[in-house]
Every structure is written in structure tokens, then in C-alpha cells.
Amino acid sequence: MNFTEIAKNRQSCRNYDLARPVEEEKIQAILEAAKLSPSACNGQPYFITVCQGEKAKSVAKATQEAGMNKFATDAPVMLVISEMPYVKTAAFGAKVKGNDYRSIDIGIAAAFMTCEATAQGLGTCILGWLNDKKIREICGIDGAVRLVISLGYAAEDDKLRNKKRKTLEELTKTIS
């Protein structure tokens, strides 16, 4: 699959196949994609905790407050992305420019991981509705939890949906 095909086929999976575990080599390929993603000053100010089994179920429950993300419990893997400190050069740049490079870097890593998961034939959903404190306790991590990615094989009836997107004219302009 080329990148455009990956982008067209990637969608938020909300219906996972309970009977299909994710192979370890596919998880490693997804983590490798995160490692290769660009970040400010190559600092990679994040940590990824791979949760499976009961830990994945517990993390999923910590994303379900107020009736959100009910589907997440069926995902066999939850990837928890937490913040780590900046490297010195990125910290300086963030302070001087008033830009939150960590959030940008975490978003880029999440995009790389979800694209690689799609290339591996897996479904993902990026979850931002979460209970940071509970997930930190479950995973034994100190850094603020910024995103959780549910990961697994999409159920057979989870068909590719039409993408509703803005037109290029609404999103872009070219200037000379």
C-alpha cells in the first residue's frame, strides 16, 4: 500500500474482532514507526506503554467515562502515549516561541503508528477522552497521558466508510 492508499483506508475502528489477537511482530512494526516519526530536535518527548489482556481492558474502561468509547473494551491492545520531558534544545525553543512541541510530536507519532497499523491490516482509534490519573495508576507511569490508541483487527462487518472531509479549497490556498 502506498501512503495515499493507507490514508484512504485508515479510519477510526469502533468494532473490533474479539477472536483475533494482534501478532507481536505487528505491534513491533507500529512501535518502530513511532520511533521513526519526526519530532522537535529529534527529542521524542513521549513514552508508549503497550497494554494487553486485563491491562488493556482496564485502560479501555478509563476512556469510557460519560458513555464515551464503549467499543474500546473489545480492542485487544491499547497504546498509551504519555508525555516525557523535552530535550534541552526543544525546551528552549518551546519557551522562546511559545509553542507546545510535545503535543505536536505526540500527534505526529500517533499518525505514524495508526498509518503503520493500517498498512499491517489492523484497525485503530485515537482516543483523547480519558482519565489521566486512572491510566497512570494502571500503567505505572509518571508523565501526563495525552492519547490512547485502541488497536486490533476490525470486525468483518466494520466496512470502510465514506470519508467526509473539507474540500481542498476550504483547506488550502497557494500564494506566490
Q: Tens digit of pLDDT for each residue in 98-137?
A: 999 999 999 999 999 999 999 999 999 999 999 999 999 9
Alpha carbon dihedral 23, 42, 107, 146, in 10-degree steps, equals: 80
Q: What is the DSSP string of 119-144?
A: HTT-EEEEE----HHHHHHHHT--SP
Report helix, strand or coil for 94: helix
- Return the C-alpha cell found at 28: 513491533
pLDDT at 83 over 90: yes
Per-residue pLDDT tens digits for 2-54: 999 999 999 999 999 999 999 999 999 999 999 999 999 999 999 999 999 99
Torsional class of 8: left (φ above 0), alpha (ψ -120 to 50), beta (otherwise): alpha
pLDDT of residue 125: 98
Do 37 and 121 touch, CB atoms closer than 8 A?
no
In order, the DSSP letters of 20-39 are: -PPPHHHHHHHHHHHHHS--
Cell of 113: 503508528
Q: Where residue 58 falls among pLDDT bands split at 50, 70, 90?
A: very high
CA distance 26 to 16: 16
Contacts of 31 (CB under 8 A, 6+ apart): 48, 50, 113
DSSP structure class, residue 42: G
Closest CA to 48 of 119, 123, 145: 145
In the prediction, which pLDDT does 1 show? 87
Q: What are the backbone dihedrals phi and psi of residue 32, each rounded to the nearest 5 degrees, phi first? A: -65, -40
Residue 154's pLDDT is what? 97
CB 81 within 8 A of CB 45: no
Grid coordinates in use for 27? Answer: 505491534
